[in-house]
Structure 1
């Protein structure tokens, strides 16, 4: 049976990105006092929960990456991930670097070595500061890609459900007993979201079973546990209070949404084409934070904070659209062609 295109995922991506934008612009930048000079108290309270948009990204990724890997072709999977990650990242990293050099001082600085290491996706491994703080989540994503790549390399992707069960059980144990090495290797802070997303894909593709219900229940429990622990850390970092009920309710809403998607119960939302919004998401996520803060620091308080916040959001959406249409899509096409031909020449 041919499955329909899941338009809802594009909408979810956009909502997740916008949540993160508001978290940074209306709360994070000013809350710690080291990023932005512009407060935005009107939205600060709800915006402080916007960091959960990243957790939603990871759940979406679990669903989409398993869908991509279901062809059981490591070469195709590798090409798809390079084409997805690299073009927008290289462009946005370059733009952020250039703008940091132009207007970042004295609060922000960057050098050419740092830029090259970032462009090579090596900043995390080499302990080099990221050009933009949001890049941390890319390294979490890449760890997940590597896990899936190992299954593909050994032709074990059809056994992924079994590995998801082991990943969940070991992650929960490592979290509870604070096995730091395992926590790092298995990205246990966010494993629940990848596991849940992957399980929802399996349900969408193959239906509900007791094992899949167990996986979702376990993933929800682990997600709530890690989210509450993380919220407590954020409380001390930002000198604010997070309501654990709100945090867990938001995560519960993510799960409910994916239950509706995986069982084709999203109604009219599924009939709309959200592709244009989805296409904005990755450039918007990569581009918005540091450049937005630099704009705030230069223009505030001379410019009204409402005009500054909403104007910068519109600017970032416009820039993301231009990057996607004029650079990301053509570059992705060229990279895909180059990699495909290279693999053919080397391996036939």
Structure 2
């Protein structure tokens, strides 16, 4: 099994996060007129494709989650995911809540019940609105975690390739037939990205095979199909056009990048330690949107839009660094010990 740490994934994480940040700041906030009063036409035509950074996140997640699950230990998997998700989320959700109360009105509001429900990371299941809209992707991630946890619980993770093939086939049928119940349970809108990431992990760990090649081809086809359908759906929402060729080319580029990474063909990129950038990604993703929009709404047009946008990006990166270093790391260490102790007592 390949043991090399894939430093390139940290760089991909950061680039995906920046793409989403620019999508929100330079396009999404103003495009529909309901989030930000500051337009940024200089980047809008490019920034509108930045939402695809989330799809790249899902591919990375598919890879990393299967790597974590390869230990075939449900307890280890649950602890690692909880420790990864909660500490930074608690900090970012709390900060967003406080800022919303302080400067969000009248456009943005939040209440205590909403905040408490959000802090559990179960707000979507409780039908409680997220304090920040970016949380939607966490609910998609959690569904994927649950699918992997079920395999671990039944000690069937070694059958993952068969499960990925079945998931891909069922997801394709559900998407084409618009079977809504199945689409929701199996997260078919984004299944292709998780499947692709997981398959790339298997390729990295065990090498290529005919089944794995077909999985990658099938997941790329499904990813392009669902992405084109989604782009067509949101064109009216944002009163703009999304070029299907650009969408599919971008997604294909994601697959090419993963192919280069798992085949050790990233030249000098893999020799650089991108860990620090990768560590900023999660808090940056959670923190940037609502706080950024609130800053724009207060400061624009008094502050130059270029200064305001890029200054806010820099501020969010700095805040993410602080949260990671001063909150996430120490809280994660304590939380991991607490969870491990709790599991040990249950087992005893």
Bucket of the pairwise TM-score, normalised by the shorter protein: over 0.9
Q: CA deviation at 1:123?
A: 1.5
Structure 2 unaligned runs (5+)?
Answer: none
The aligned residue for residue 123 of structure 1 is 123
**Distance in structure 2 (CA, Å) of the matches to 1:268 and 1:23:** 29
Question: 1-side partners of 2:2 and 2:25: how far apart?
Answer: 42
**Aligned equivalent of 2:41:** 41
Matched, 1:310 2:310: yes
Q: Secondary structure at the match of 1:108?
A: coil
Deviations 1:157-215 (A, max 9, x none): 00000000000000000001111111011000000000000000000000000000010
For 1:11 and 1:338, the matched residues in 2 are separated by 31
TM-score (norm 2): 0.99
Is the 2:2–2:205 Cα contact (8 Å) retained in structure 1?
no
Q: Counterpart in 2 of 1:4?
A: 4
CA RMSD of aligned residues (A): 0.6
Residues 1:333 and 2:333 are matched in the alignment: yes
1:142 alignment counterpart: 142
Q: In 2, distance between residues paired with 1:199 and 1:243?
A: 28
- Separation in 1 of the partners of 2:136 and 2:24? 15
Name the residue aligned to 1:21: 21
Count of aligned positions = 348
* CA displacement at 1:116 relative to structure 2: 0.4
Measure, in 2, the Cα distance between the counterparts of 1:47 and 1:137: 19
The residue that corresponds to 2:132 in the other structure is 132
CA distance in 2, matches of 1:26, 1:101: 24
Q: Aligned to 1:77, what secondary structure does the other structure show? A: helix
Structure 1 residues 92-136: Cα deviation after superposition (integer angstroms, max 9, x where no partner): 000000000000011000000000010111221121111000000
2:209 alignment counterpart: 209
3-state SS of 1:67 partner? helix
- C-alpha distance in 2, partners of 1:151/1:16? 29
**1:57-68 mapped onto 2 (5 Å cutoff):** 57-68=57-68
CA distance in 2, matches of 1:255, 1:344: 40
Where do 1:212-227 residues align within 5 Å? Answer: 212-227=212-227
Partner of 2:167: 167
C-alpha distance in 2 between matches for 1:346 and 1:109: 40
CA-to-aligned-CA distance 1:58-83 (integer Å, 9 cap, x gap): 00000000000000000000000000
TM-score normalised by the chain length of structure 1:
0.99
User: Aligned partners of 1:218, 1:43: CA distance in 2, in Å?
Assistant: 33
CA shift at 1:57, angstroms?
A: 0.1
User: What is the SS of the residue equivalent to 1:110?
Assistant: coil
Point out where structure 1 has 5 or more consecutive residues left out of the alignment. none
The residue aligned with 2:91 is 91
Equivalent residue number for residue 186 of structure 2? 186
Spell out, residue by residue over 1:290-334, the C-alpha distance to the aligned partner (whole angstroms, 9 max, x if none).
Answer: 000000000000000000000000000000000000000000000
For the Cα contact (< 8 Å) 2:38–2:296, is it kept in 1? yes
Q: What's the CA shift for 1:345?
A: 1.9
2:318 is the alignment partner of 1:322? no
> Match of 2:77?
77
Partners in 1 of 2:285 and 2:330 — Cα distance?
20
Q: How far did residue 233 of structure 1 move?
A: 1.1
Shift of 1:2: 5.4
Question: 1:266: how far off?
Answer: 1.1
The SS at the match of 1:124 is coil
Give CA deviations for 1:325-348 in whole Å, capped at 9, x if unaligned. Answer: 000000000000111111112214
Task: State which drifts further: 71-80 or 256-265.
Answer: 256-265
C-alpha separation between the residues in 2 aligned to 1:35 and 1:22?
A: 14
- Change over 3 Å in CA distance of 1:173–1:273 after alignment to 2: same
